[in-house]
Structure 1
Amino acid sequence: MSYAHLDAYSRLLRGAHEAAATGRAWPQPPRRLITASWQRSLEAGIDPESKSAPLVYDASLIGDMRRAHPLRPLLPLINQTLSSLADEVMIVTDGDGRVLWRRGDHAVMRRADHIGLSDGHQWAERSVGTNGIGTALADRRPVHVYSEEHLLRVLHIWSCSAAPITDPDSGAIIGCVDVSGTSRNLHPATVALVAATAKLAETQLALRMHERDERLRRRYESLRGRPGILLSATGRVLSGDPAGDLGERLRFTGRRVILADGSVAPLEPFAGGFLLLPTPSTTPATLALTFLGDGPPRATFGELDRPLSLRHAEILALLALHPHGLTAEQLSFHVYGDEGNPVTIRAEIHRLRAQLGDAIAAKPYRLTCPVEADFLEVRRHLSANDPRALARAYTGPLLLRSESPELRRERDELEAQVRACLLRHGSPDELWAYAQTCNGRDDYEVLERLADLPPTDPRSAAARSRLCA
């Protein structure tokens, strides 16, 4: 792109950015990827006038994080592949956008220090809005973010190309590689090289995974009688299931797995993996959560049936919404926002585990038992587009008193989707059921629909009364 085209695009972006920052309609929105990212960032409460990414790892912690991270052995490969970009800053983050490694031109790195583009700072979209690292992680694909495409005004002198790195073993995004520089010096085509670097890292991770698998299989094949079925540490089925009845991967619940028929089988550690033993155990108790409506949140687990504090309900709701688990830092952010303290979350989890036992596992925190939750049931009915079941299941907003940023988003989205589905497809019975919820009671459009029922229908009179109130 020529400088003239860049200047024209910058002028368009400046107008859109000023409109977005002040809540006005955007006269000419930027490209779709950036527009979607701006909307996510503004909904997350990002201030365009913020000056820096937050520091989440200090020097005493980052060393341990680096040593434990699976990308550490691949750093020489990543550095060599991007060596032609020595005049810029090369960043490698973990899967949450936290900077673990940085190298590049010293003058550029000194400028990067001022905005937190350095070790231990977090560049997820929820922390700093639209940027190469955070948007690549959010969209799960390589992106180039140019100058005024950043939501933070302080980043408008920067451009960045970033690509996520997916672990072929777990299927989770474990990191991101990014190259950042001044807006005019970093060409948009840089993203192709960064994407190729990420793919190369994934290929190396896959090769190492296959080598581990082969060593594990050789150990397994040396066993007499080969008891059980061989699983990787992440639950991939490696040997002992020739018919493929178990599928490619099984879900762990502590030292057990839940099979397709609902039965539970025990696991035995084996040489860095597991053996799925053939003797089934008893099915674990189901954790039932009742979190919709204006009543107190309630949990049932085995013989336990009791109301929950709002904080414990928030934690269980978040774990139910994130079945792969959350770290203490992630849970703290989802519950308290930027003011959260992981120490507080750990204390609350300790109290919850005193009630629920090993239903909650650690590292990361996750639920290890079958879960039935009214809000998850509503999600299923929405996916099935079943207004009758939806009207029966939806008794009101999710954890109405919760101020958790994550749960507020979930609550608002669930309410909007339920309302839209019932207005589009619901019968009078289903609309009337929604009108009994705290938000539906005064919903003008729903009441208008009900008021149009025959005058002999008592629901019509009730709706007209509410409209006139």
Structure 2
Amino acid sequence: MTERASGEGTREVISASWRRCLAAGIDPDTSYAPLVYEQEDIGDARSAHPLAALLPLLRTTLLPALDEAANIMVITDAAGHVLWREGHRRVMRQADGIGLSDGFGWSEGAVGTNGIGTALADGRAVRVYAAEHLARILHQWSCTGAPVRDPDSGRVIGCLDVSGMTPRLHPATDALVRTAARLAESDLALRMRERDERLRSRHHRHVDGASALVTLTGRVIAGPWAGPAVRVPECGDRIVLPDGRLGILEPLGDAYRLIPVPAGDDAVPRLTLTMLGSDHPYAFLDGARIDLSLRHAEIVTLLALHPRGLTAERLSYLLYGDEGNPVTIRAEIHRLRAQLNTAIAAKPYRLTCAVLADFLEVRQALAAGGLSSVARLYQGPLLPRSEAPAIRSAREELEARVRAQLLARGSTDDLWAYAQTPSGAEDAEVLQRIVSTVPVGDQRHAAARTRLARVDD
């Protein structure tokens, strides 16, 4: 520790930051922040970040005061990567000289002690004044940063920072930045509650007196349980409920259904299928994840589409056409039953469990006219690598129905959700509709316009 960092009057938050940075080998002669996003890549990072929707609020809160004080506003992601920078033009030109600009990294590990990186590392608002910066080139700068937490997950998702030349950073800036960060979190909380209400409306049929609805982050938003969030397992394992019983989390696409498992349970097994948009299909059988080969995924999908069952001959035809061989199908079913146990019966082959499948959910949503549900649930084509005749036909039909319904009656949000799928990402008509309906200042407008240019080329 140098004399400057440990001298009398140095705040502990700064001293602790210096110790971390020096132990990590950060050079005080660092002269420039590293570039982490090229300009052609930063647009996707911005559009995907939850703070993108809050830019109007943050601009209204901060920019009028910043321009008068000759300061700038900087917004980063959780890693300290700058996504947006606005404010006084002359100060922004000076900030360019140290890399305090869009696409550059300002974590402690990149440039040492600073208002962004130290706030993220410490988990609270921090002012770093002049020579409190580790890097000497930053001694003429001062900044105040405040982390922004996602009320859904509780994790820090970014940092809001105000920076300026040292004499120009007013003491009231600290309170202003903290207030803006809290406003952002309040707005995120409101949006979270609105999402919760949409989830409850969308999945109400999956919730009864015993089961509950759980967000992807583990919050219970409907059903008989309340209190702390449940642990969401990575591989679909059973979890322990607050009352000590076991429970199963069944994926619903944008949420989970939480089902208690009674002691000595001998209920019908539950099979959940994820087949849309992925090259690696998988299933959950009573909460345990099972990775499926493409052929096994095709078989299970066809059995789900034909709940009354299929003979070996019919299943062979659906998979291979006229060249199919029932003997091959019987061998595949034998191997598949080793994974799914008693979930598949014979004569005819059929699923003997309760089935929840993403492609069936989309079909049900289409039939019910719930376009928001369709846009949310449809993650891409059904088994995109499959060349089986029946799968290819089902895939093309589902894709055509989703696209037609969204173009005919979908909202801008619905179309944007579809544009995130492999098919929608390069659909010129969908992208043109987004460009024509979304305001120019909206990040989705710029992203859709860029994609549209690539498609046209």
TM-score by length of structure 1 reads: 0.52
Determine if the alignment matches structure 1 residue 98 to structure 2 residue 78. Answer: no
Structure 2 counterparts to residues 51-200 of structure 1, below 5 A: 51-83=31-63, 84-86=65-67, 87-200=70-183
Provide the rounded CA distance (Å) in 2 between the counterparts of 1:121 and 1:146: 21
Determine if the alignment matches structure 1 residue 275 to structure 2 residue 257. Answer: yes
Provide the rounded CA distance (Å) in 2 between the counterparts of 1:256 and 1:67: 33
What is the match of residue 3 of structure 2?
A: 16
Paired letter, 2:103: G
1:148–1:278 CA distance, 2 compared to 1 (3 A): same
Residue 248 of structure 1 is aligned with which of 229, 248, 251? 229
What is the match of residue 354 of structure 1?
A: none
Determine if the alignment matches structure 1 residue 33 to structure 2 residue 13. Answer: yes
Matched position secondary structure for 1:253:
coil
1:233 Cα deviation (Å)?
Answer: 2.1
Paired letter, 1:81: T
Provide the rounded CA distance (Å) in 1 between the counterparts of 2:103 and 2:135: 19
Gap regions ≥5 residues in structure 2: 266-284, 290-457
Gap regions ≥5 residues in structure 1: 1-12, 21-25, 286-469
Ranked by relative contact order (alpha carbons within 8 Å, sequence separation 6 or more), the top structure is 2
Matched position secondary structure for 2:21:
helix
Provide the rounded CA distance (Å) in 2 between the counterparts of 1:221 and 1:284: 24
Paired letter, 2:89: H
What is the match of residue 375 of structure 1?
A: none
Task: Give the CA RMSD over aligned residues.
Answer: 2.6
C-alpha offsets along residues 260-315 of structure 1, whole Å, 9 cap, x if unaligned? 55956241315x22212445867979xxxxxxxxxxxxxxxxxxxxxxxxxxxxxx
1:127 Cα deviation (Å)?
Answer: 1.3
Provide the rounded CA distance (Å) in 2 between the counterparts of 1:218 and 1:138: 38
1:27 Cα deviation (Å)?
Answer: 4.3
Structure 2 counterparts to residues 390-429 of structure 1, below 5 A: none
1:175–1:141 CA distance, 2 compared to 1 (3 A): same
Paired letter, 2:127: H
Paired letter, 1:136: A
1:252 Cα deviation (Å)?
Answer: 2.7
Provide the rounded CA distance (Å) in 2 between the counterparts of 1:104 and 1:38: 29
How many residues are paired up? Answer: 262
1:199–1:225 CA distance, 2 compared to 1 (3 A): closer
1:255 Cα deviation (Å)?
Answer: 4.1
Instruction: Give yes or no for contact 2:125–2:146 (8 Å, CA) kept in 1.
Output: yes
Q: Percent identity?
A: 49
TM-score by length of structure 2 reads: 0.53
Paired letter, 2:73: M
Provide the rounded CA distance (Å) in 2 between the counterparts of 1:227 and 1:119: 49
1:188 Cα deviation (Å)?
Answer: 2.8
1:33–1:282 CA distance, 2 compared to 1 (3 A): same
Matched position secondary structure for 1:184:
helix
1:284–1:205 CA distance, 2 compared to 1 (3 A): same
Residue 44 of structure 1 is aligned with which of 24, 27, 30? 24
Instruction: Give yes or no for contact 2:36–2:105 (8 Å, CA) kept in 1.
Output: yes
Instruction: Give yes or no for contact 1:16–1:29 (8 Å, CA) kept in 2.
Output: no
What is the match of residue 231 of structure 1?
A: 214
